[in-house]
Amino acid sequence: MAEVVVITGGSAGVGRATAEEFARHGCHIGLLARGRERLEAAAQSLRALGVRCHIVPTDVSDAEAVERAASEIEQQLGPIDIWVNDAMVTAFAPVKDLTPEEFRRGTEVTYLGTVHGTMAALRRMRERNRGVIVNVGSALSYRAIPLQAIYCASKFAIRGFTDALRCEILHDALNVHLTMVHLPAMNTPQFDWALNKMDRRPQPVPPIFQPEVAARAIWFAAHHRRREVWVGWPTVEAIIGNKIAPGLLDRYLSSAAYSGQLTNEPKPPNAPANLFEPARGNWGAHGRFDARAKETSWEMWTTRHQGWLALGVLLLSSLGVGAILQGGNRVLNGRGKPRRQLQRIWR
């Protein structure tokens, strides 16, 4: 019997690629997003793959709307087997240039939207004692970067919420699996339609991956009992590196993450901003970086061997940190500076 899968933010970007991945596996798809035009276009492409699809225009920041959408999808497609929370909005700007309203909106959609979707799914899965909930995270769920405080804070919050709920599911001995998929930089329309208060067009921090890489990882997470799935080597580097040397990364990202997130192209005067309203147009899964984006990743290998990989990276990184410290201490001690000054970098 075909699985019924609900995907929030499913009309474009990673959500749309994920819907197509599940449809290729014969799943019936329920799509939630704000823009009806893109939802209808996505539904048409999914039905062409031979599956049923039901769309519900929904702002996931509205908990009652998400609950109604879940009920409608079950009426049309049947009991929900898998729920994927992918809806998000963000802004590219330093904190000093953001307003409280922009922070509130970004948090309501990205973080609370995930909470609302999870609660609607779990309410139904608890009754049947089965189901899977996939919360889409990011390397930025562990390692925040400048210019994306709204997004990073929301992804950190999703990780905390997911960990707390997972403990409760275990306590209640429910046969419901809750997992997170942490993504690297993706080639999606996010970098064309997100609110941008910089003077240049934004870009994902290279290396960039196609959304289909994320979609395959989300499919894998939905069908294997993994606590988390780390997609791609850049995600592994960010997560493990932040555990080892967060202070060093603070200093590095204070400059590198500014240049890494901005192109040399000036921001168009009519650039869309989808923070409060959906951007017009039939945006698909891909952004404008197809020529630079990778179509494959080590995501399956890193997931299946995550424990050994993390241990190996930790050991190698520790050896590297030790070597740098020894070399740095020799230099600094020669200038008469105390050893503890260098050690502060690694805190």
Catalytic residues, which ones?
151
Structure tokens at 115: 């909470």
3-state secondary structure of 302: helix
- Could you tell me the two tokens for 292? 């630079």
Radius of gyration of the chain (CA): 21
- Provide the residue type at 345 as one letter: I
Q: Residue holding tokens 């909005």?
A: 89
Q: Which two tokens stand for residue 347?
A: 């805190």
- Written as six digits, the tokens of 162 are 């997911």
User: Beta strand pairing status for 262-266 and 200-202?
Assistant: antiparallel
Those residues whose C-beta lies under 8 Å from the C-beta of residue 4, and which sit 6 or more positions away, are: 27, 28, 30, 73, 74, 77, 78, 79, 80, 81, 82
- The rounded Cα 325 to chain-centroid distance in angstroms is 34
Two structure tokens written together for 340: 């503890």
Q: What angle do CA 313, 316, 318 make, to 5 degrees?
A: 105
Whether omega before 207 lies within 30 degrees of 0, making that bond cis, reads yes
**Pairing, β 82-85 against β 131-138:** parallel
Q: Return all residues near 222 (Cβ < 8 A) that are at least 6 apart.
A: 5, 22, 82, 84, 132, 134, 179
